[in-house]
Amino acid sequence: MNKSTKRSVMNKIFTLHSPLYIKYPNGETRVIEEIFQHSKGVLYFELFWEKDPKYSIHLIEGEITGDGPWRVGECSFHVLGCNHTHPQMCEMHSFWQQELLQRPEQFRANDVVKIALEKGAILPDDYPINDARYR
């Protein structure tokens, strides 16, 4: 795989508008709220990360491979299938979306990019940041 192909495969996971989940080698799964490229692999935020950021923001180290599902280290990242494929995770994602719409004050959406950058996230040049603090 040449460098430009590898780059486009890597970027696809970070530009999807579909919800994602991660599957750990032990079978454990987590629904992803936000995902960022990192020099060591992937940085992701679980749903409701605000409740316990210390345990809900994760760096998965390793090269990103695949074209969906993607592998990073020993973990795999998948598009969340909401047509009866992953009912519990879809229910959790739907609940999160409702809470986000009904009670936006309990979420720290504006802090996600700031925290991700503090943790070493790499943003694409065309990332829509309108705040001069991040430039």
For 94-120, the pLDDT digits (tens) are 998 898 888 888 777 778 888 999 999
Q: How far apart are CA 106 and CA 50, in angstroms?
A: 8
What confidence score (pLDDT) does residue 105 get? 80
Confidence of residue 7 (pLDDT cuts 50, 70, 90): very low
Question: What own/partner pairs with CB < 8 Å and gap ≥ 24 does 105-113 have?
Answer: 106/50, 107/50, 108/50, 112/33, 112/34, 112/45
What confidence score (pLDDT) does residue 110 get? 74
Residues 2-24, mean pLDDT to the nearest whole number: 67
DSSP string, the chain: --HHHHHHHHHHHHH--S-EEEE-TTS-EEEEEEEEEETTEEEEEETTGGG-HHHHEEEEES-EESSSSEEETTEEEEEPPTTTTSHHHHHHHHHHHHHHHH-GGG--HHHHHHHHHHTTEE--TT-----GGG-
Tokens (6 digits) for 67: 């074209």
Q: Which stretch of 9-13, 62-66, 85-89, 107-111 has the lowest confidence by average pLDDT? A: 9-13
Q: Tell me: pLDDT of 52 over 60.
A: yes
Confidence of residue 131 (pLDDT cuts 50, 70, 90): very low
Confidence of residue 129 (pLDDT cuts 50, 70, 90): low
Q: Tell me: pLDDT of 3 over 50.
A: no
26 vs 109: which has the higher pLDDT: 26
Confidence of residue 50 (pLDDT cuts 50, 70, 90): confident
